[in-house]
C-alpha cells in the first residue's frame, strides 16, 4: 500500500514536472517570438524614420529653392527709368516767379513746408500730380501682370529719417521689384522710390 502510494506520488510529481517543463518551453518559445516581433517592429520604425527624414530633407530643399526663386527686391531697369523721368516732370506748382517746379523739386518743397505761388500746399499738389501721372501712365489691377505700385519719399540725414510721401495704388502683397532716385535736400538727402508688385 505504502509502495503504491509512493508510486502514485512520484508519478504525480513527474507529471507536474513535465507540465512545468512544457510551460517553461512555451514561455521560452513565446519570448523568442516576442523578441523576433519586437526586432521586426524596430526595423519598421527605423525604415519609417528614414523615409520621414528623406521626405523632410526634400521638402526643405524645395522650400529653399522656391524662396530663392522669388527674388524679392529685384532691380528693374525700366522702373528705374520711370522714376528718374517722373522726377523731371514739370508740375502746375510755380514758385520764384515763373519757374514751375518739377516733381523732385515739389517733394523738396513739401518737405520744407513751402507753398506754390498760387497759395496751394505743395504736398497737396504733389499728391494730385502723382495720382494723375500714375493713372495715365501705369496699368495695374487683379487682372493685370502688375498688381499695384507703392510710391515712397523719405528725407534722410544721418540716422534721422522722415517720411514725406507714401502712396499706394492697387494691391501690393506679393513679389515686387523696386527702383529709386536720390537727390539732395541739404543737409540731408531725399530718396524717392517706387515699388512694382506682381
Partner 1 sequence: MTGLAVRYSRAQLKIQEMAFVIVAIMIFFFIAGIFMLNLWSSGLKKDVEMQRIEKSSEIALKIADSPELGWASSTGICENCIDLDKAFSLKERIALGSNYKDFWGTDIGSIRIQLLYPRKSGECTISNYPECKTITLFNKTEDFHYVGSYVALCRHDEKKGGYFRCELGKIEVSARGIE
The number of residues in the chain equals: 198
Tell me which residue of 174, 4, 188, 183 sits closest to 74, measured CA to CA.
174
Asked if 133 touches partner 1 (CB under 8 A), the answer is yes
Asked if 65 touches partner 1 (CB under 8 A), the answer is yes
Judged by beta carbon, residue 102 or residue 114, the one nearer partner 1 is 102
For residue 196, the minimal CB distance to partner 1 (Å) is 12
* Segment contacting partner 1 by CB under 8 A, of 26-34, 92-100, 119-127, 162-170: 92-100
* Segment contacting partner 1 by CB under 8 A, of 2-10, 18-26, 81-89, 105-113: 81-89
Asked if 42 touches partner 1 (CB under 8 A), the answer is no
Judged by beta carbon, residue 30 or residue 70, the one nearer partner 1 is 70
The terminus-to-terminus CA distance of the chain in angstroms comes to: 109
For 54-73, give one letter per residue: b (16+ CB within 10 A) or e: eeeeeeeeeeeeeeeeeeee
Name which of residues 158 to 177 contact partner 1 (CB under 8 A): none
Name the H helices within 71-102: 77-88
Asked if 184 touches partner 1 (CB under 8 A), the answer is no
DSSP letter (8 states) at residue 142: T
Are 170 and 140 in contact by the 8 Å Cβ rule? The answer is yes
Which residues make Cβ contacts (< 8 Å) with residue 152, sequence separation at least 6? 163, 165, 166, 167, 191, 192, 193, 194, 195
Asked if 84 touches partner 1 (CB under 8 A), the answer is yes
* Segment contacting partner 1 by CB under 8 A, of 15-23, 24-32, 85-93, 114-122: 85-93
Are 136 and 122 in contact by the 8 Å Cβ rule? The answer is no
Judged by beta carbon, residue 122 or residue 129, the one nearer partner 1 is 129
Among residues 1, 77, 142, 186, which is the contact residue for partner 1, using CB under 8 A? 77
Structure-block grid coordinates of residue 148: 499695384
Interface residues toward partner 1, by CB under 8 A:
58, 62, 65-66, 69, 74, 76-78, 81-82, 84-86, 88-90, 94, 98-100, 102, 132-133, 136-137
Amino acid at each position: 500500500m505504502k509502495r503504491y502510494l509512493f508510486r502514485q506520488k512520484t508519478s504525480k510529481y513527474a507529471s507536474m514536472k513535465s507540465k512545468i517543463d512544457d510551460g517553461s518551453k512555451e514561455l521560452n518559445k513565446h519570448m523568442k517570438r516576442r523578441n523576433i516581433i519586437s526586432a521586426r517592429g524596430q526595423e519598421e520604425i527605423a525604415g519609417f524614420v528614414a523615409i520621414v527624414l528623406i521626405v523632410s530633407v526634400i521638402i526643405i530643399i524645395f522650400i529653399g529653392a522656391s524662396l530663392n526663386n522669388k527674388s524679392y527686391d529685384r532691380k528693374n531697369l525700366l522702373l528705374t527709368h520711370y522714376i528718374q523721368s517722373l522726377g523731371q516732370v514739370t508740375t502746375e506748382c510755380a514758385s520764384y516767379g515763373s519757374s514751375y517746379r518739377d516733381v523732385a523739386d515739389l517733394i523738396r518743397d513739401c518737405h520744407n513746408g513751402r507753398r506754390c505761388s498760387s497759395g496751394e500746399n505743395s504736398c497737396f499738389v504733389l499728391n494730385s500730380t502723382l495720382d494723375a501721372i500714375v493713372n495715365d501712365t501705369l496699368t495695374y489691377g487683379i487682372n493685370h501682370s502688375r498688381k499695384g505700385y507703392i510710391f515712397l519719399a523719405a528725407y534722410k540725414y544721418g540716422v534721422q529719417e522722415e517720411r514725406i510721401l507714401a502712396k499706394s495704388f492697387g494691391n501690393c502683397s506679393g513679389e515686387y521689384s523696386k527702383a529709386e532716385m536720390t537727390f539732395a535736400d541739404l543737409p540731408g538727402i531725399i530718396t524717392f522710390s517706387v515699388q512694382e508688385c506682381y
